[in-house]
Structure 1
Amino acid sequence: MTTDGHGSDAGGPEEPQRGFMALPGRTERREDVYERCLEDVARSLRLDVAPGTEREGLWTRGQIIRSAVRDACREGRVLPEESFDVLLEAAVHEPDPSFNRWFVEPALNAFGHRRVRLALLRYLRTGTDPERAGAARAWYWSALPLRMPGVRTENGGAAGPPGSDGGSDVVAAWHEAALREFVDNEHVDVRRSILPGLSLRKSAYPPELHALVDTATRLARSHPDEYIRHRVEHQVGD
């Protein structure tokens, strides 16, 4: 695999670039939490899935729940208010950064870009280290266009078009929080997860953060983790 599928400027999905190492799996995984998240999603969205079994395995269970979410949303689904937190928690704890999209996208379509991004920003600022890493992985999908017109909330509302909810301030807050977290948090999963979406161009930040951009670049280039060293060179060049 030659790409981790994440863009470099945190704006949202883009064409994958060649030469990237795959984003490593997490060093710290809470399978008990993820299992509970999956069952919460099945309950909250009223998915037509059989109860899980020990023989099934967590990976298989995740595939079953994600497929059921996808199918339900394609058909159209009214989401209760509680499903917002349920979907975001599942996205944050999803161990595979390619699959968390299936939890983020329904939340975007029912509740809007701004609310989803604010929730991920809270996870980044105040969550546990695994939650911070998961929020950074999920953020990549937070700019998806709204393509599930049948997904809406119980009150009949639906999310507006991208940008209609004034998300530029939230994006700017995310950029700053992610930059500070990358520099200050030594947890390797957090740094690995933040870096693919971290802009290292000074023009993306106000002048008072330019020195912090230099610090982040220097830290990444000298980091003991091979993925971080490899990734930063693709983002800033030699």
Structure 2
Amino acid sequence: MPEEYFGALLAAAVYDPNPSFNRRLVEPALLAFGRRRVRMALLGWLETGTDVERAGAARAWYWTALTVDDGRTAIGADDGASIRDAWHAAALREFVTNENVDVRRSILPGLPLVLRAYPAELHPLVEHAVEIALAHPDEYIRQRAETQVSL
């Protein structure tokens, strides 16, 4: 796939509001440009984007954990814990500080709500995120958090 397609493909995935359809945009990006590059770009959207872009990046991130194979190239489930850990830390901070319901709804499914998933300095933030989620006025966020905390 030509280099100039990278930005357009990821933007389409980020701006697609359908959390299932955007898989059709993330998979070819993974195959053409690699998991690391796709994940780094999505991390950038999460950290610097608008609320719409942050929510879209979180929805697209979900599909980056897939193993994809086009018959010639297989991309495995993980290419480095450092990018995943950076995502988790950024998503945790965003969940706690950003009150936008769509952002929180989009981040929460991929956000570990257990202390062992984070370094000690983030433990107070994890506890705060759990408090926010369990007391949130949005029913989906509350129910999702209850499920994640009980796992």
Within 2, Cα distance between the matches of 1:221 and 1:106? 36
Structure 1 segments (4+ residues) deviating >4 Å: none
Equivalent residue for 1:101, pick from 1, 15, 23: 23
Deviation at 1:160, TM superposition (A): 6.7
Question: What does residue 118 of structure 2 align with?
Answer: 205
Deviation at 1:206, TM superposition (A): 0.3
Equivalent residue for 2:143, pick from 198, 219, 230: 230
User: For residues 1-238 of structure 1, what are the structure 2 equivalents within 5 Å?
Assistant: 79-149=1-71, 161-162=75-76, 166-237=79-150
Within 2, Cα distance between the matches of 1:237 and 1:168? 24
Structure 2 unmatched runs, 5+: none
Preserved contact between residue 67 and residue 76 of structure 2 (Cα < 8 Å) = yes
Within 2, Cα distance between the matches of 1:167 and 1:187? 30
Higher helix share: 2
Deviation at 1:163, TM superposition (A): 6.5
Preserved contact between residue 67 and residue 74 of structure 2 (Cα < 8 Å) = no
Aligned CA-pair RMSD: 1.7
Within 1, Cα distance between the matches of 2:13 and 2:80? 20
Report the number of matched residues. Answer: 151
TM-score, reference length from structure 2:
0.94
Preserved contact between residue 40 and residue 83 of structure 2 (Cα < 8 Å) = yes
Q: Percent identity?
A: 62
